[in-house]
A and B are shown apart, each in its own frame.
Chain A
Amino acid sequence: MRFNINPRTPSAPKPVPKNKRETKQEKTVEIKVPQKYEKPVNITLEEKVEDNTVQGKVNDKHQIPPGYGPGVPTHPIKPMPEYPYDSKPDQLAEAYVLWQKYGGKMYTPKEALEKGTLFPELYRPYSPERHK
Chain B
Amino acid sequence: MDANGKKLLNELMELSFVAVELNLFLDTHPDSKDALEDYNRISERYMLLKDKYEKTYGPLVNFGYSSSQYPWQWSQSPWPWEIEY
Mostly helix, strand, loop or mixed at chain A's interface?
Answer: loop
Interface size bucket, A side? 10 to 19
The reply on B34 being an interface residue by CB < 8 A is yes
A102 within 8 A of B: yes
Chain A residues positioned under 8 Å from B34 (CB to CB): 102-103
Q: Can you give 5 contacting A-B residue pairs, CB < 8 Å?
A: A102-B29, A102-B35, A103-B34, A118-B17, A118-B21
Q: Is B60 an interface residue (CB 8 A)?
A: no
Chain A residues in the interface with B (C-beta under 8 A): 100, 102-103, 109-110, 112-113, 117-119
Q: How far is the CB of B34 from chain A (nearest CB, A)?
A: 5
Cβ-defined contact, A109 with B14, below 8 A: yes
The reply to whether A100 and B25 form a contact with Cβ atoms under 8 Å apart is: yes
Per-residue contact bits, chain B 13-57, to A (CB 8 Å; 1 contact, 0 not): 111011001100100110010110000000000000000000000
On chain B, the residues within 8 Å of A109 by CB distance are: 11, 14-15, 17-18
